[in-house]
Structure 1
Amino acid sequence: MKHASRLEGQKTPRLIVVAAFDHNEDGELVQAFDPLQMQSEGTAINKARLIAGDRAGVIA
């Protein structure tokens, strides 16, 4: 019997987010705001590009 980690035809759920960071008074990176959930990778990348200039770092 073949063992499958998920049912045939089901996609693995994915969580796509954008997270941004700023420097605190000590120069350490801190979360700028709660991660934003996005509907697609493309949307996440576009959002990250929009906010990148205002933040110390962005991850999509």
Structure 2
Amino acid sequence: MPDVLHATLKEVEPGLFRASYPGEMNGTDEPSGGQLPDSHIGTSRDDVRIWVEQMAVQLGYERVEWH
């Protein structure tokens, strides 16, 4: 498993934030390596960032790199 989860965090509407990151694997036959996009939405930029970082640690990533 990779050490770093790459994610983006954007304000999609005033007061609504979405973090996007690669999701679960769907097999190696997929052109994108099998990664399906996933996201988390919330009303606080910090809460969304913290949620993604905690989820990443639980999945075995060392850190999240925000783009």
Q: TM-score, normalised by structure 2?
A: 0.45
Larger radius of gyration: 1
Q: TM-score, normalised by structure 1?
A: 0.48
| Higher strand proportion | 2
